[in-house]
Structure 1
Amino acid sequence: MNSYRVPQLAKKYTDYDMIRQHTEIPSFPDSRARLLQVFVGRTDEKGHQELYALATSLVQLAMDTHDRIDTISGDRGEQEMRSRQLNVLAGDYLSSRFYQLLAHAGKIEMIGKLSGAVSEVNARKMTLYERMKKLLVSADEYLRETVQLRMQLFLSFTDMIPDKDKPLWNSLLTEFSTCETIAAELNRMRDEQQLLHSYAFWHIYEYGNDEERSHLHQMKIELRAWNAVVLKYSVNEVLLDKLRESIHRIQLMLHEGGHQDVQEMDAILEPYLTYVQPSHAVVRED
């Protein structure tokens, strides 16, 4: 199997001075891309696994970049307006590269499948966002729906996977998407710009007292007060527990079943193991 180099290949499309100066490309969907490359490498499409992983990752980055636009509200200065415009343009640019890559390789059918998946993601997002606006989302529902949104593009390849591998593919995609989501949520808690409608927000809104819920409802809470309430409701540990459970399920699937590519799967899992190490967890509680 070829070495995994999809993130490096993607830099050809993401590392532009204009983008780096005025906006920021979201986190690369590394676990999902690497998992896709492994499973496509077992199919009749072997030889195109890297292409599919790269193209799908660019679509995911395009969608995630466009999602950043919705988080910008209120009056904007020149820098904010430029950043907003670059988010639009960067997302459109990354999306166009996906079309170009697959069209050049003659993979027109896959363009259609991924385009359909984009529509499904957008429809699902709208349903979720409407419920979020009405504050009708529980923390677990938010997490579950976010995981499903992360999976949708990559599920476009399920029909390509051999029948005997489909259950493992679906299960691992779910669990690795869960790990990615939880890691992102742990990082969000330390970013003042991303607190709104994060997992921590929904957890505190669900379990907090009337005063705390009122502050969240009005979207008015100082960072110091936020950190205090996050600690009060042990949000960090709740997420770490969920991450441990997901890691454990992955390890059981890989090592008890005697599946191939265990070494590659362990490499995909490795970044998440650092989150549940005691030293890392203590640092994140500070």
Structure 2
Amino acid sequence: MAARAERGSREVATGVPRVLWLPAAVALALVVLPVVGLLARTDLTRLPALLTTPASLNALRLSLLTATLSTLACVVLGVPLAVVLARSTARGVRLLRAVVLLPLVLPPVVGGLALLFLFGRNGFLGYLLDVVAGVRVPLTTGAVVLAQTFVAMPFLVVSLEGALRGSGDRYERVAATLGARPWTVFRRVTLPLLLPALGSGVVLSFARALGEFGATITFAGSLEGVTRTLPLEVYHQVEVDVDSAVAMALLLVVVAVLVIAVARPRALEGVRS
């Protein structure tokens, strides 16, 4: 009885204050009502035909391909970067962290311009690639992957760095005390600690890459079948066929919701365990 009473009092104490319900409802409305408006505007009778056009299918295929590749790039590059930011005691790490997080606050168009001036024909790296290897990055599918990686990787880095700082380094210190080398500590101790946050970060990165628009159109252009991802196709169709644009926008919403609904619970299960 005492335990049940204590549990009941704890539930009462941790209830949601009534004053929070109104702003929470407004916040929910700001997220849900635009999607409802999109559904109301959709011509359901033409929806299958609009979503199965070659342009729509090409854009969807390209979006899924480039978002997957950019997410893989985020994992390969972002995991080491997050470990360095969380565990390194070198000078300048705070400044490095600020630079890494720049894509979170920069307008995507600015990021696209930065990539263009780096990898374009007049950029120092783009000129070098053109002269040495004959490779031109802008207006290619690779440019789409680069743009998506640029804007999505900070989401992964923030998730992993926060997890590492929250877990502390006591386990790694114990492993090092027992004679484990740094690579062994990273592989056997640090990586398992990162797995729950890695799942969450991968979901966020993929969703951000899937919806990327500004940096992509600035750096990679909008070439059907090459660089025109689903967000760019929606923008293109607004000027051609509004019903088609609305249908593809709804498709993008559905794909994003499915990605989060399927992957997010698994990440949360890892956090609880």
| TM-score band w.r.t. shorter chain | 0.3 to 0.5
TM (normalized to structure 2)? 0.33
TM (normalized to structure 1)? 0.32
Bigger radius of gyration among the two:
2
Q: Which structure carries more relative contact order (alpha carbon 8 Å, separation 6+)?
A: 2
